[in-house]
Amino acid sequence: MSLGCDFAEVQPAAAALRTFLASHGCSPADASDCEIALVEGCNNAIKYAAGKGRLLPVQVRISCSAREIAITIEDHTPGFEWPLQAKLPLPDQEHGRGIFLIQAVMDEANYTIGSAGNRLWMRKLRVPDSPRSPDWSG
């Protein structure tokens, strides 16, 4: 998906994610976790874009296999240092929850800064939730 650098485009992207994951038999819990991560990642990509970066789209890629869901968000922000383990900010702080939430709901998340843009890569291991889930052996 390609999103304009506009918060109004985040919810339609989240709805598309849910539809995609449902079509691949993902559990509602996994879909909800991935939606939280996608929304937080896209919101940050839009919020912190500046200058010419505001004119460039936020690129989102989602893949799903029997074992995992992967989400990549490419942004055009100045970038920042990704903490190994984010701490929940104090209740009166206005920001800082996004990375904490992403790390809480995803099994793995990495952020890399590049000269043409930055990449947030997140992975969620799928948990079998019913007898009709895909074969999880081997």
Q: What is the pLDDT of residue 78?
A: 84
User: What's the mean pLDDT in 73-85?
Assistant: 84
pLDDT at 126: 92
Selected from 3.20.20.370, 3.40.50.300, 3.30.565.10, 3.30.200.20, the CATH number assigned to the domain covering 2-125 reads 3.30.565.10
What mean pLDDT is predicted for residues 90-112?
Answer: 85
Q: How far apart are CA 50 and CA 59, in angstroms?
A: 16
Tell me the pLDDT tens digit for each residue of 14-34: 999 999 999 999 999 999 999
Query: How far is it, in rounded angstroms, from Cα 6 to Cα 117?
Result: 17
Per-residue pLDDT, 115:
85
Query: What residue has token string 């650098």?
Result: 5
- What is the per-residue pLDDT for 129? 56
What ranges do the domains of the chain cover?
Answer: 2-125
pLDDT over 80 at 52, yes or no: yes
